[in-house]
Structure 1
Amino acid sequence: MLHRHPLLSLSTLAYLGFVAWLTLTPASSAPTSSDLVLRVLARLQRYDELTWLTYDRAEFLANVALFVPVGLFLLLLVGTRFWWVAAGLAFAMTSAIETAQRSIPGRVPDERDLLANTAGALVGIVVGVVLTLPATLRRGRARRTRSHQPA
């Protein structure tokens, strides 16, 4: 699988490295613990339409968004026929991250992160299935046409 798609594999590994950097860095030096985030949220909450956007909700949505590419990359690596393997891998990865965070100073594992990360990966998987559906249908038609032709 990885040797057949070297560029996709490299892109996936690079993105997973980015996810690891964001999620496994000690809280004191984490790239996500920034006054900038709080200032942006405060500014957004000035608009009546965005008063619902609390820090907890923004963090949840960010976790969903962070894992959309994970689901998409995993789906492309394992193939749409095995979308459930991509979902399982994403769930296993986010479980491993939450477990590892127990031993990282300042990090707190949270079941909501497990839910958000898995939901994001599932969104990525659905996007991947939808985007690859035309090619999948073409391959299926071509396979059926070849099997019905006389030898």
Structure 2
Amino acid sequence: MFARHPYLSLATFVYLGVVGWATLTPQSGRASSNLLWRMAEFFDRYEATQWLTFSTLEFLANIAMFVPLGLFFVLLLGRRRWWLAIALGFLLTMVIEFVQQFIGGRVPDVRDIVANSLGAILGTLLALVLTAAAARKRRAGRVSSEPIASRL
């Protein structure tokens, strides 16, 4: 699997490293949190966007962080194993939340499990949609390459 897709494998491992850095390093005035606070303060200025609180933005950011993982896992494992991409996303977030209890400034949160899992599901669905046309072409190619007599 990794030998068949070396660049995709590398991109997946690099992104896993980014997720690890973002979720498993001590939290002390992180730039991402500062950005989310600034965004929340900006949205709070306008009545129409006051619902975008820090908590909501953090939840949406956790979803967004796991969308690429669902996508990468489906592309690496194949469309038939889409369920495994979701399971890996859920397992990864469970491990992250477990480890966070031992890291200074980190607090495990059930909302993170929900958001990260939702992100993995959305990434998996995105991968299935994006690869559907290629899968149809492959199936059509297999059918049309068979002799007509064998299709009857």
What TM bracket, shorter-length normalisation? over 0.9
Is 2:38 the counterpart of 1:39?
A: yes
* Residue equivalent to 1:75: 74
Cα distance, 1:150 vs structure 2: 5.3
SS in 1 for 2:32: coil
* Residue aligning to 1:111: 110
Q: Identity of aligned pairs, percent?
A: 47
Hey, what's the Cα distance between the residues in 1 that align with 2:112 and 2:98? 11
- The alpha carbon displacement at 1:61 in A equals 0.4
TM-score by length of 2: 0.92
Does the aligned pair in 2 maintain the 1:22–1:30 contact within 8 Å?
Answer: no
Aligned to 1:89: 88
Structure 2 distance, partners of 1:65, 1:40, is 16
Q: Which runs of 4+ in 1 moved over 3 A?
A: 146-151
Alignment partners' CA distance in 2, 1:22 and 1:114 = 15
The Cα shift of 1:41 comes to 1.4
Cα deviation, 1:72-95, whole Å, max 9, x if unaligned, reads 001100011110011111111111
The RMSD of aligned alpha carbons is 1.6
Structural mapping, 1:2-151, within 5 Å: 2-28=2-28, 30-34=30-34, 36-149=35-148
1:28 counterpart SS class: coil
- SS of aligned partner of 1:33: helix
Q: List gaps (5 residues or longer) in structure 1.
A: none
